[in-house]
Amino acid sequence: MDYDRLIAVMRRLALEAGDRIMEIYAADDFDVRVKSDASPVTEADEAADEIISAGLREAFPELALVTEEQAASHAETADTFLIVDPLDGTKEFINRRGDFTVNIALVEAGLPTRGVVYAPAKGRMFYTLAGGGAVEEEGPFDRDRPGRLRPIRVSDPDNGALMVVASKSHRDQATDDYIGKYTVKDMKSAGSSLKFCLVATGEADLYPRVGRTMEWDTAAGHAVLLGAGGRVVRFDDHQPLLYGKQGFANPFFIACAPNVELKDA
């Protein structure tokens, strides 16, 4: 695998998709529909998916591609595959809250090893380098030439004063009950895969997800967090969260800095 080329292509496609998303975001109105699973989809999801899917298939025709917006791709069973959520945080997009992201990742042998998370409305972009480490690129962003890169690393947490990040749109009592098992210094809310990135940069120590997610929701952020020295484990047994599962549905999980003393469910 030519990881340098992979990262360059994923980064460029994320920026192209982000530009198209922001054009639609700036419009007075945009089309919103409800999918068969009752989740919303907008013309921005579909436009971004078209850009990313076409670009990945052209650059890497030998790799399987799984993308949220193409149901036929959900039957893939490859050991190595690309996985895309062209617009994660559609509810944030619809409500114009800005916490939405473009997510592209590579999964190898059950783990997301490379990925990019771009939050166009926030002007933040995180990705893994060819060697596996994670960085945040400082804007403004040029599609063909990366700007200044800042290596990112998870925190060395104080278990007596943890920083916790939780979902903005999917917060519930079960999440609050689990967070209540920890000694928390402060909490913040964020949408989409930005929560993984806040743990990756050390802005948060712990992100528990007691709710439904799919692999395309998490793979890119998971890759960035792994590259920053973090971990993502299943909620029930604290074993690593793996990818390529039939149907691509995730169990509940916990993303954290490695020195967080995890509590049982």
Was 89 annotated as part of a binding site? yes
Was 90 annotated as part of a binding site? yes
Was 183 annotated as part of a binding site? no
Read off the tokens for 13: 């496609």
Pairing relation of β-strands 134-137 and 149-151? antiparallel
Was 23 annotated as part of a binding site? no
The closest of 82, 46, 87 to 66, measured between CA atoms, is: 82
How far is the first Cα of the chain from the last one, in angstroms, to the nearest whole number?
A: 38
Was 87 annotated as part of a binding site? yes
Contact 152, 228 (CB under 8 A): yes
- Name the binding residues for substrate: 68, 87-90, 217
- Name the binding residues: 68, 85, 87-90, 217
- Name the binding residues for Mg(2+): 68, 85, 87-88, 217
